[in-house]
Amino acid sequence: MSSTTEEAARRRTFAVIAHPDAGKSTLTEALALHAHVISEAGAVHGKAGRKSTVSDWMEMEKDRGISIASSALQFEYAPEGHEGEPYMINLVDTPGHADFSEDTYRVLTAVDAAVMLIDAAKGLEPQTLKLFRVCKARGLPIITVMNKWDRPGREPLELVDEIVSEIGLQPTPLFWPVGEAGDFRGLARIDEEGEAAEYIHFIRTAGGSTIAPEEHYSPDEAAEREAEAWDTAVEEAELLAADGALHDQELFEACETSPVIFASAMLNFGVHQILDTLCTLAPAPAGRDSDPAALEASTTAMDERRDPGDEFSGVVFKVQAGMDRKHRDTLAFMRVVSGEFDRGMQVTHAQSGRSFSSKYALTVFGRTRSTVETAYPGDIVGLVNAGSLAPGDTIYSGRKVQYPPMPQFAPEHFRTLRATSLGKYKQFRKALEQLDSEGVVQILRNDARGDANPVMAAVGPMQFEVMQARMENEYNVETETAPVPYSVARKTDAATAPKLARQRGVEIFTRTDGELIALFGDKWRLQFIQKENPDFVLEPLVAD
Name every residue whose Cβ is closer than 8 Å to that of residue 353 and which is 6 or more positions away in sequence. none
Instruction: Give the CA count within 13 Å in the CB-facing half-sphere of 84.
Output: 6
Looking at residue 240, its amino acid is: L
The two most distant CA atoms of the chain are separated, in Å, by 81
Would you list which residues are annotated within the binding site for GTP? 93-97
Strands 11-18 and 113-119: parallel
CA 413, chain centre distance (Å): 22
Residue 12 CA to residue 348 CA, distance in Å, equals 26
Closest to 342 (Cα-Cα) out of 383, 373, 384, 297: 373
Residue 60 CA to residue 66 CA, distance in Å, equals 8
Residues paired with 481 in a beta bridge: 417
Residue 330 CA to residue 321 CA, distance in Å, equals 4
Would you list which residues are annotated within the binding site? 93-97
Instruction: State the Cα torsion 250-255-256-259 to the nearest 10°.
Output: 80
- Rounded to 5 degrees, φ, ψ at 288 are -145, 140
Residue 100 CA to residue 467 CA, distance in Å, equals 12
Residue 288 CA to residue 306 CA, distance in Å, equals 6
Residue 151 CA to residue 142 CA, distance in Å, equals 24
Task: Pick left, alpha or beta for residue 435 (phi over 0 → left; psi -120 to 50 → alpha; otherwise beta).
Answer: alpha
Residue 194 CA to residue 172 CA, distance in Å, equals 9
Residue 142 CA to residue 15 CA, distance in Å, equals 10
- Rounded to 5 degrees, φ, ψ at 150 are -80, -5
Residue 506, Cβ density class (10 Å: 0-12 exposed, 13-18 middle, ≥19 buried):
buried
Closest to 375 (Cα-Cα) out of 182, 68, 88, 70: 88
